[in-house]
Amino acid sequence: MSQFFSIHSETPQLRLVRRSVAILRAGGVVVYPTDSCYALGCLVGDKAAMQRIRVIRGAGPHHNFTLVCRDLSEIATYARVDNATFRLLKAHTPGAYTFILRATHEVPKRLQHSKRKTIGIRIPQHPITQAILTELREPIMSSTLMLAGETQPLTDPEDMRMRLEHQVDLVIDGGSCGFEPTTIVDLSDDAPELVRIGRGNPAPFSRVH
């Protein structure tokens, strides 16, 4: 049976944030709000929790997870960032973007694109996510909360609670997030490439994949 926390979307209660972090550190899978959609999350090195997320998503072994980081300094541990890329990231984070970057050796191979050795990374603007990341002091391995066989993410925390109470350890009710995913920008090559248009403003990134 999963726990259910109602956390204020603008001023998150530290007590509940710390309890959420404790669940993550104990190997839990959590549902949490972001500045695009609700997401499933666990610790980066937790293979068992990652497999549980794959089962919930109905995703295969090559499903692309995202590392959700609290700031640019944390990104530098997991991705290779040159000066031009750093300037782009600084200008567009935090926000509803996922950036595809070349992974460092700190990223487990199972999280990297099998051929390109890249990883999706984002810095959300949502206060609850930021509070959890600040307390956790490491990234969350994350995937959009979309159930197997469905085409839209779940948006109602009570619905999430009912449908996932035996599959996740915690559902965080942080209010409405909507169902529009992040804009994805590939920064792994010489020029930025717009891969998917979502909530983040695509205008600064010229080429569409």
Digit-coded pLDDT (tens) for 137-187: 999 999 999 998 888 899 999 999 999 999 999 999 999 888 899 999 999
Instruction: Specify the residue for token string 């599959």.
Output: 167
Decide if pLDDT at 91 tops 60.
yes
User: Could you tell me which of 20, 36, 55 has the C-alpha nearest to residue 125?
Assistant: 36
| Residue 145 tokens, joined | 């909360």
Q: What is the structure's pLDDT at 206?
A: 60
Please give the Cα distance from 195 to 209 (Å, whole number): 5
192 three-state secondary structure = coil
How many H-runs (helices) and E-runs (strands) does the chain carry?
A: 6, 11
pLDDT tens across 19-32, in order?
999 999 999 999 99
pLDDT at 107: 82
**Domain annotation for the chain: domains and CATH numbers:** 3-208 (3.90.870.10)
User: Mean pLDDT for the chain?
Assistant: 91
pTM for the structure as a whole: 0.91
Q: What is the residue-wise DSSP string for 117-182? A: -EEEEE----HHHHHHHHHH-S-EEEEE---TT-SS----HHHHHHHHTTT-SEEEE-----S---
